[in-house]
Amino acid sequence: MIIDSHCHLDRLGPDMSDEQLDEIVAAADKAGVNAMLCAGVTLEAFPGLLRVVERFDNVVGAVGVHPLEDEGCKEPDVESLVQMSAHPKIVAIGETGLDFYYKPDSEAMQLKRFETQLQAAQQAQLPVIIHSRQAQQQTVDMIRALKPEAGGVLHCFTESEEMARQVLDEGLYISISGIVTFRNAAALRDVVKMVPLDRLLVETDSPYLAPVPHRGKPNRPEHTAVVARYIAELKGVSLEQISEQTTANFFSLFPKARNTLKLAE
């Protein structure tokens, strides 16, 4: 079993029908990707996310506000996040974090949002899903200042080996997406070789970032299998070992998912 630790099943398209959604989850299951976590992006979209996670026994979710979402969207507050995360299928706070690659101008807003969500994670005693791009120092500083006690993951990791070591030192996990298969991702491949097996997660971040050879098409959770296979080769271990270890890691990081993910035996 492989778990897609980060996807956006609720964002696969504005006109996504239940039947198409069913087909996508069934295709993932068939590819050995038997469970997935749907990350939150805005509070406005949260009811739609809940609809998706409630529809499937093998999908859990998270509640959060993405750092790049327009400033017009509702700002999160600790109390609302804690309340929303009480839902039995919501297993984490996120995605949150900092992204100064696309929006360097909104640093103050992003820092405040990130801080609020780390506080919510602390209060709810839930792990936090962190997005970080071109914001290494600020991300690490924030993690050190507001230590996520229930743990966390740097999702879709693309930053430096130095940052990887720093967040590993803080006890966090590192999740790898299909970017690892991209031609220009040599530095990321070195990071993957360095990260201990028991701290790795795999994801698609679908519908974004389809891995080679699916680039240019909408990504789908089933492609987590492509990522897992690629990492197995990079690390010189079997696909089975990667699948088992990343699944065990997923349940260590998201213990609430153990109670709610009703997986086929």
Least distance in Å: CB of 156 to Zn ion? 5
Distance separating alpha carbons of residues 143 and 128, to the nearest angstrom: 10
Q: If binding is defined by CB under 5 A, does position 113 make contact with Zn ion?
A: no
Sign of CA dihedral 64, 23, 89, 255: negative
Q: How many angstroms separate the CA atoms of 139 and 254, rounded?
A: 21
Q: Least separation, in Å, of the C-beta of 12 and Zn ion?
A: 13
Give how many residues touch Zn ion by CB under 5 A.
3
Instruction: Single out the residue of 11, 89, 113, 131 in contact with Zn ion (rule: CB under 5 A).
Output: 131
Q: Which residue lies nearest Zn ion, judged by its C-beta?
A: 131
Phi-psi category of residue 32: left, alpha or beta, with phi > 0 → left and psi -120 to 50 → alpha: left
In the complex with Zn ion, which residue's Cβ is closer, 5 or 245?
A: 5
Residue 208: name the closest of 130, 155, 154 by CA.
Answer: 155
CB of 30 or CB of 106, closer to Zn ion:
106
* By CB under 5 A, residue 256 contacts Zn ion: no
| C-alpha span between 6 and 37 (Å, rounded) | 5
Please tell me whether residue 205 binds Zn ion under the rule CB under 5 A: yes
Residues near Zn ion (CB under 5 A): 39, 131, 205
